[in-house]
Amino acid sequence: MSEAFAPVDVIIAKRDGRELSDAQIDWVVDAYTRGVVADEQMSALAMAILLNGMNEREIVRWTEAMIATGTRMDFSEFPAPSVDKHSTGGVGDKVTLPLVPIVAACGAIVPQLSGRGLGYFGGTLDKMESILGWRALLSNDEMKDVLHASGGVICAAGDGLAPADKKLYSLRDVTGTVEAIPLIASSIMSKKIAEGARGLVLDVKTGNGAFMSDLPRAQTLARTMVKIGNDAGVRTRALITAMDVPLGLAVGNAIEVTESLEVLAGGGPQDLVDLVLALAREMLDIAGLDADPEQAITSGRAMDHWNAMVSAQGGDPHASLPRAKHEHVVTAPTTGTLTTLQAYGVGVAAWRLGAGRARKEDAIAHGAGIWLHAKPGDHVAQGQPLMTLLADDEQRFEPALAELDGSYEVGGEPMDRLPLIIERLDENTT
């Protein structure tokens, strides 16, 4: 088969700061998926994109080209409106777990395709797999059966969705090209658009524990993704939210399920509840549903939907969750106000305890993690527990404590804090 372009010409165009044409983008993404553009060519192009950028037209087209390499799901058989959520990831971010059954209980279809954790970011699938028997991998038919049973589903994205993204993501990971905003935005949005929901709410996190620690970069990413989604016919909004301190009090896997159940039962830490409700309201508004998510919790309907969803995926919602074999309590060194608690340090410490994986093939310890007992602004007495470290292997406490050193402080200068919800971008944002 004769090819429309030579790979080097496309690379050189972007290297020299020129815009790529629609035809060049369509071809290079497809040809890379087919193996005609080699890894070493795509990585050079990715570096040129990272350093020279892409404009909105190029990013939208690149996203569409990645979607076109695979299949696109369709939920039009469901009478209810479908709506989806994506978070760029943070420490203690278990929002998906309570959010999906709450929004489903309000009448929407919530097909939530999720990922696993890598590095110190937790993964929703890893958290859900703390539940005995629960299966992440579903066929399309099984996924729809779960949606019929409970209105929501949390499962792994199949290989058929945007295979170009899967291949490109692995390449970027080893070539220093993860940080390109055009490639981050198109990677996230190609999967989310291919998932087929009619509405999408993005939770773009910023602060020391976020992938986009820098606010202007988070804003650029959010604006770019909102534009891509709406251009592709998916009603898309974004909240830019704080990831300077951990979200809620649990950082791990099984303990984050426990905290999610507290929210569904009407309790839970205030910051987590506030964020879940804010995201739920955006999702319901996009879906055109006039329903109150708080009422879905207090009525018990959200918990019913959770139980139905977990059961439909083979899980036992009433089984005991895994517990770590060992605990280590960190106490307040002095009496005073907890002034600092950095999300980054807590996240890395939980990862070192076994809650996360360093390489894709690593196993994780579902019971490992950190229970926080205080948040910044809380008054603590000397010797009072600040946090409980959980691990299956006692030797992990020392490296975790080393990571925590300097990440929390009692009685110092209060750390700079971000508001929980920093900015909201909707369909009218330009």
358 binds a second copy (CB under 8 A): no
318 in catalytic set: no
Phi/psi of residue 313, nearest 5 degrees: -105, 20
3-state secondary structure of 193: helix
Nearer to a second copy, 50 or 273 (CB): 50
Stretch that binds a second copy, among 44-52, 56-64, 140-148, 392-400 (CB under 8 A): 44-52
48 binds a second copy (CB under 8 A): yes
171 binds a second copy (CB under 8 A): yes
* Out of 29, 46, 100, 147, the residue judged to bind a second copy by CB under 8 A: 46
326 in catalytic set: no
Binding residue count for a second copy, defined by CB under 8 A: 24
* Out of 20, 28, 29, 47, the residue judged to bind a second copy by CB under 8 A: 47
Cβ neighbors of 224 (< 8 A, separation 6 or more) are 56, 59, 181, 182, 185
The helix (H) or strand (E) run that includes residue 2 is none
Stretch that binds a second copy, among 27-35, 175-183, 267-275, 370-378 (CB under 8 A): 175-183
145 binds a second copy (CB under 8 A): no
Work out whether strand 199-206 and strand 235-242 pair parallel, antiparallel, or are unpaired: parallel
Q: How far is CA 12 from each of CA 45, 178, 311, rounded to the nearest angstrom?
A: 8, 20, 53
412 binds a second copy (CB under 8 A): no
Q: How far is CA 211 from each of CA 88, 114, 208, 332, rounded to the nearest angstrom?
A: 7, 17, 8, 29
94 in catalytic set: no
Look at residues 287, 96, 89, 57 and name the one whose alpha carbon lies nearest to residue 186.
57
Nearer to a second copy, 7 or 111 (CB): 7
12 binds a second copy (CB under 8 A): yes
187 in catalytic set: yes
Stretch that binds a second copy, among 49-57, 87-95, 132-140, 252-260 (CB under 8 A): 49-57
Distance CA(288)–CA(68), nearest Å, equals 29
Stretch that binds a second copy, among 11-19, 56-64, 75-83, 349-357 (CB under 8 A): 11-19
Look at residues 138, 148, 142 and name the one whose alpha carbon lies nearest to residue 109.
148
Least CB distance from residue 362 to a second copy, whole Å?
17
237 in catalytic set: no
Least CB distance from residue 36 to a second copy, whole Å?
12
Axis crossing angle, helix 254-264 with helix 96-105, rounded to the nearest 10: 30
21 binds a second copy (CB under 8 A): no
Q: Determine which one of 14, 116, 167, 191 is catalytic.
A: 191
Least CB distance from residue 8 to a second copy, whole Å?
5
348 binds a second copy (CB under 8 A): no
Distance CA(224)–CA(187), nearest Å, equals 12
Nearer to a second copy, 3 or 40 (CB): 40
3-state secondary structure of 75: coil
182 binds a second copy (CB under 8 A): no
Look at residues 270, 305, 283 and name the one whose alpha carbon lies nearest to residue 97.
305
38 binds a second copy (CB under 8 A): yes
329 binds a second copy (CB under 8 A): no
Nearer to a second copy, 46 or 264 (CB): 46
Q: Determine which one of 26, 93, 126, 165 is catalytic.
A: 165
b vs e for 22-38, b when ≥16 Cβ sit within 10 Å of the residue's Cβ? Answer: eebbbbbbbbbbeeebe
Question: What is the separation of C-alpha 301 from the centre of its chain, rounded to a whole number of angstroms?
Answer: 25
With contact defined as beta carbons under 8 Å apart, do 296 and 362 qualify?
no
Distance CA(219)–CA(33), nearest Å, equals 30
177 binds a second copy (CB under 8 A): yes
* Out of 19, 22, 39, 142, the residue judged to bind a second copy by CB under 8 A: 39
Q: What angle do CA 49, 187, 163 make, to 5 degrees?
A: 110
* Out of 40, 159, 393, 394, the residue judged to bind a second copy by CB under 8 A: 40
7 binds a second copy (CB under 8 A): yes
176 binds a second copy (CB under 8 A): yes
Q: Is 84 exposed, middle or buried (0-12, 13-18, 19+ CB in 10 A)?
A: buried
User: Residue 419 corresponds to which amino acid?
Assistant: P
Instruction: Give the active site residues.
Output: 86, 165, 172, 187, 191
| Residues binding a second copy (CB under 8 A) | 7-8, 11-12, 15, 38-48, 50-52, 171, 174-177
